Amino acid sequence: MSHPLMLASGSPYRRTLLQQLGLPFQHASPQTDETPRAGEPADALSLRLASEKAQALATSYPKALIIGSDQVASCNSKILGKPGSQQRAIEQLQTCSGQKVVFHTGLSVLNSESGEQLSGTETFTVYFRDLSHKQIERYVALEQPYDCAGSFRVEGLGIVLFEKLEGSDINTLVGLPLIRLVSMLANFGVDPLDPRTVTPVAAS
């Protein structure tokens, strides 16, 4: 039995990525507290929040496959949140300059009808160039990456900040690991190459 797909996210970046699979879906922003627990490492935080985001929409969408995802970046074991402002973005990039930054992206798919849930974490590592203060200021002024963990957009000019990227799926860095997602969806009988495996989204 097929189910409609629901993306538990208000992120336009995740919506754009999910659209690549060619599957009909709806999206809604889950109400979750993203505060890390005491001593909670970045990978555990991303996994917990991805699961909680999917669960947060279960009551409102009781017969859906709900996709939750959350990304946490860390540099020298310190979690980097979304900067939210120009000054914080500059400070983050100064911290990342010449350093290795690891992005942990939690992914969870919940069948809200049966309660079955699959979850996992994908990692992607970014090696930053040694950046001057002027380069950082110029980049932040051009892209204003205030809503991005790590203060850059890899799908834009952010690529010039890096020496090397390591990971199995570049989409993990943007916020939705599609290769892992396709594998998870297959466990629920969903195949992007067979549209009959997803219930079409009803017109609103």
Q: Which residues are catalytic?
A: 70
Specify the long-range contacts of residues 179-188, CB closer than 8 Å, at least 24 apart: 180/107, 180/120, 180/122, 181/18, 181/21, 181/67, 181/107, 181/109, 182/21, 184/107, 184/109, 184/118, 184/120, 185/65, 185/109, 187/109, 187/118, 188/3, 188/65, 188/109, 188/111, 188/116
Amino acid at the residue 204:
S
How many Å apart are CA 202 and CA 204, to the nearest integer? Answer: 6
CA distance 51 to 118: 9
